[in-house]
Amino acid sequence: MSMNRREFLKIAGISTIAGLGSVSLFSRLQDKTLEAAPYLQNPEAMKARRWGMVIDVSKFRDEDYKKVIEVCHRTHNVPDFKNPKDEIKWIWTDTFKHTFPGQEHEFMPQEIKERNFLLLCNHCANPACVRVCPTKATFKRQDGIVMQDMHRCIGCRFCMAACPFGARSFNYRNPREFIKEENENKEYPARMIGVVEKCTFCTERLAIGKMPACVEAAPKGGLIFGDMDDTNSEVRKALKENYTIRRKPELGTEPSVFYVIGGNGYAVVPEKS
Amino acid sequence: MYNAGKIIFGLLIFLALVTFPFYNNIGKVSAKPEPKIDTPEIQKLPENERKCVEPKDFMRGEHMQMLNDWRDSVVREDNGIYMSSQGKQFNMSLQNTCMKCHSNKKEFCDKCHNYMAVAPYCWTCHIQPKENKS
């Protein structure tokens, strides 16, 4: 069979087109299998671009703090070592002077000077802990939560040195021996000796459409949690209507936890559904 | 040949000692592990749905990889649900999914792992189901 140059070029051209076409068709098919990746988000999950929290201090008495702390620590199997040196804390309290250092002065209201403030991980927009972690065990999720992957933590404690808020605790001892069996939350893991832990804004609850445990346990309107990127969210409303301060803003870590300090009567009280 | 008798005698003793483990175990087949699936949660399922997340053969060979993928997907990628190859959905959780069905860890996971001499370290943190000590 003989073939002239023109015929050869025709056949070559057509088969090139067919080849390219089938390549793109094939990759399209592959895309489809990608779409059906076996991992999905729960449709109930709470979503945000940047989670944040407003703490209205005037809503809390010391008993309320105690309750919130206990609920959080029970939910997450946080041990009680009965020894402040080894203490593990996800959420805790401290005085004005220690919470907002440099902002106290001798003429401020006695009530504020003496009262306690609720502290937890600030889930900073620019977290120092994430930058220093050598294993990426601590990282920033796309919803702004600074997460700690316990499976990767090697216990180097760089993050503890980096965090200016003392939000991280190290397990100097085996925590399992200090969680009473009847207090164990069997739905959530504990930790082991030699890892660092901290508040996660309850990622495991957000994933199934629940508010963080502290928010549920707090007095009405005491903890307002929501999307700081959404101008209509409760947090944004609270931020718009109240003068709020953050811890150590001068360090530039951009905390996502805000405090309403004064006992002003106009603090927003969102209806709990 | 010098001392042939002694050498042969020595060799015989040596052979006897070296092969001791073999003839000592003749006839004693070490039992293959038979993981038990008779837990309340599995018994509750209708007979034809007593199945794992994925087919049994896949689970047997790949469950460690699957658990690895689950934890990365949950902790690092904010996912929560696994869609199985059969199109069924499962909550991706070691404690709340695997161990709800396989609540007999000692008779199931441990049976195999002891036989294979693997000791997953997951249980230093993850809480095991309560079982009657047997």
Averaged pLDDT, groups of 10, chain A, 273 residues long: 85 88 68 63 94 96 96 96 93 96 92 94 97 97 96 97 97 94 93 97 96 97 96 96 95 96 55 51
Residue B100 domain-assigned (yes or no): yes
- Nearest residue of chain A to residue B129 (CA atoms): A186
- CATH of residue A122's domain is 3.30.70.20
Q: Is B87 on the interface with A (CB under 8 A)?
A: no
The tally of domains found in chain B comes to 1
Closest-CA distance, A248 to chain B, in angstroms, reads: 28
Residue A37 domain-assigned (yes or no): no
Contact residues on chain A for B89, CB-CB shorter than 8 A: 40
Q: What is the pLDDT of residue B20?
A: 83
Residue B22 domain-assigned (yes or no): no
With a CB cutoff of 8 Å and minimum separation 6, the contacts of A189 are: A77, A150, B94, B95, B125, B126, B127
Q: Quick check: B49 and A178 in contact, CB under 8 A?
A: no
Q: Which two tokens stand for residue B36?
A: 């038990």
Whether A192 sits inside 8 A of B124 (CB atoms) is yes
Q: Tell me the CA end-to-end span of chain B in Å, nearest whole number.
A: 62
Q: Is B124 on the interface with A (CB under 8 A)?
A: yes
Residue B118 domain-assigned (yes or no): yes
With a CB cutoff of 8 Å and minimum separation 6, the contacts of B83 are: A36, A38, A39, A40, B89
Most confident of A19-33, B24-38, B103-117: B103-117
Going by C-alpha positions, the residue among A49, A75, A254, A44 that lies closest to residue A145 is A49
Residue B3 domain-assigned (yes or no): no
Whether B126 sits inside 8 A of A189 (CB atoms) is yes
In sequence order, the β-bridge partners of residue A52 are: A226
Residue A80 domain-assigned (yes or no): yes
Residue B132 domain-assigned (yes or no): no
Question: A120, exposed or middle or buried, with CB in 10 Å at 0-12, 13-18, 19+?
Answer: buried
What distance in Å separates the CA atoms of residue A258 and residue A9, rounded to the nearest whole number?
A: 71
Whether A147 sits inside 8 A of B75 (CB atoms) is yes
Contact residues on chain B for A36, CB-CB shorter than 8 A: 83
Q: What is the pLDDT of residue A37?
A: 72
Q: Which DSSP letter does residue B31 get?
A: P
Residue B4 domain-assigned (yes or no): no
Whether B83 sits inside 8 A of A141 (CB atoms) is no
What distance in Å separates the CA atoms of residue B91 and residue B100, rounded to the nearest whole number?
A: 11
Tell me, yes or no, if the pTM score tops 0.90: no
Q: What is the pLDDT of residue A36?
A: 55
The tally of domains found in chain A comes to 1
Residue ranges making up the domain that contains B44: 31-122
Residue B23 domain-assigned (yes or no): no
Q: Is B75 on the interface with A (CB under 8 A)?
A: yes
3-state secondary structure of A153: coil
Q: Quick check: B66 and B83 in contact, CB under 8 A?
A: no
Q: What is the radius of gyration, based on Cα positions, of chain B?
A: 23
Residue A182 domain-assigned (yes or no): yes
